[in-house]
Amino acid sequence: MAKPFSEMPTSECLLSNALKLTSLDFHRKVYAMAETYGGIFKIKAPGKTVVVVTDPALLAQLTAQEFTGVSKPADLYETFAILCSTTTPPTYPLLALGNENDGQARWRTIRDGFAPAFAANAVPQYVPILAEEAGKVLRQVGAQTLDIFELVGRISLSATGHIMFGYDAFKCTDLDQPCDFLRDIITARKGAVGAARSLLVKLQQQFCPFAHDVQDYNDSLKGVRKKYEEIYAEMEGAAAAAPVAAAAAAAAAAGGPPTILQAFQSTRDYKYPDCPGSKMSKEDTVALIGNLVVAGTLPAATAAVYTLCLIATSPEVQAKVHAELDASGLSSSSSSSSSISPREFAASDVGHLPYLEKVIKEAMRVNSAVPQVNRATAADIELGGYAVPKGTLLFLSMGGMHASPHNFLEPHRFYPERWALQQAGDAAAGNGAGAATWTGNSGDLAGSYAPFSSGIRACLGQHWARLAIMGTVASVLGRFKLASPRSMTVESLAAGETFSVSVYPRAPLLLTFTPRAAAG
């Protein structure tokens, strides 16, 4: 019989908890609290009670496809919707959210329309575009110190424009020119997350429009939304000039998967099952564009950024990655030419770079790009032996699972070699080593690792994200040796994180680039 909800381990300090939940690094504070209270616990704050789950077995239960006890209320994703929409209040992006405000049938229709273009057999077709755009950016880099977040952001945005919308939507490969959209989305994200976490910031945005921070936020949000409108207009023109849906049909007839662009054009013409005769509105279409940009660019770019930063903190790891790239012909030092441009990364390289794959997996564990997803109980459920009432807010902390010593030895250490140790016990601190509230301590790394979540609402673009991260990291390290001019460490990277949509740094992450052809 389930124990009463009141008996669940609880952090009771209302004021302290309120400050933690509104802090920039609240996800990291949740990790620490889990080590005190266990793999499932409550956080009490003024006006709300949140249940945090970091235990592997319970996270698997909550994300299982057949589990219907949780929902994804739209108000939990207001920040994401603000960044994706051009309307106030925001239009909720159908690709990301299936919730009671939107209708499951609509969400499923949109997601099913895109799924073939993001499938494992479809995403290799996008790799040449990523490699080309990465080359355009990296050929301009010499021996210099750069903000790695801006550099990778330019590569990711440029590839996104060509892959998802069929043209150079963001015009950001020229390093001598500002990347307006990247600047705007970073500033808008900062303002949106501030309003979501602080009533004071929200009131300032509403009633003090001339405050400097508010003006920056509003101007940046206008810039972001203007770009979505421009892409919409371009897509409308492309649809009128060429029957993209026919191209998608031809690709399917030839046995090939559709592209994201083809899926986008075709999906807009779907009829909503719960509203016969209707098509996607302009507002919904623009929100879908925003959804593809924000969800399709920021998390993967963030993962690549933190992977490169962690590699820069470890000369031993970097040397091993360079050696593997050399052996694969993916580095300038392995080229017979004096040019610093190595062979471009290809989809066929996946599977032949085993050490780099371990490095990326470890980086995504140490600095989870999307450390948490939010849910609410759709009914009274039993979770971890406790009766949890309907309407309870849930924080599903994959980052907390990744950072727990109950699942990984020395969890705060960047140690790619751990992924070669698959025997039970190598990953975990030991079965039963955790508090009594831990129900599923895992001795298997894979069982305690979910960077893209799992289940029916797992990241739709995870196959492409994996390729994009590896392609970006390989393209940079094939050309350059990286170092940190500010003695960057694993700890300083964690301390500098904030979280909205994905993790991002509060200050520029500066890395020194030395061309490998010059470094010898």
Mapping DSSP onto H, E and C, the string for 325-364 reads HHHCCCCHHHCCCCCCCCCCCCHHHCCCCHHHHHHHHHHH
Kindly state the helix (H) or strand (E) to which residue 245 belongs, with its residue range: helix 244-253
Residue 237 phi, psi dihedral angles, 5° rounding: -65, -40
Q: Which residues pair with 40 in a beta bridge?
A: 53
- Residue 72, burial from CB neighbour count under 10 angstroms (0-12, 13-18, 19+): buried
Name the E strands within 215-302: none
Q: What is residue 391's DSSP assignment? A: T
User: Please, are residues 481 and 322 in contact by the beta-carbon 8 Å criterion?
Assistant: yes
Provide the 3-class DSSP secondary structure of residue 179.
coil
Q: What is residue 392's DSSP assignment? A: -
Residues 6+ apart with CB under 8 A from 386: 2, 3, 4, 5, 7, 8, 40
Q: Which of 328, 341, 362, 335 is nearest to 479 (CA)?
A: 341
Cis check for the bond before 4: say yes or no (omega within 30 of 0): no
Encoded amino acid at 48, one letter: K
Helix 282-313 / helix 315-327 crossing angle, nearest 10 deg: 110
Residues annotated within the binding site are 459
Q: Angle 411-417-419 (CA atoms, 0-180°, nearest 5)?
A: 75
User: Please, are residues 111 and 105 in contact by the beta-carbon 8 Å criterion?
Assistant: no
Encoded amino acid at 475, one letter: S
Residues annotated within the binding site for heme are 459
Residue 124 phi, psi dihedral angles, 5° rounding: -60, -25
Residues 6+ apart with CB under 8 A from 24: 497, 498, 499, 506
Cα–Cα distance for residue pair 71/441, rounded to 1 Å: 26
Strand order in the sheet with 373-377: 10-11, 40-45, 48-53, 393-396, 373-377, 70-71
Residue 478 phi, psi dihedral angles, 5° rounding: -65, -25
Cis check for the bond before 178: say yes or no (omega within 30 of 0): no
Q: Which of 230, 231, 228, 224 is nearest to 184 (CA)?
A: 224
User: Please, are residues 63 and 458 in contact by the beta-carbon 8 Å criterion?
Assistant: yes
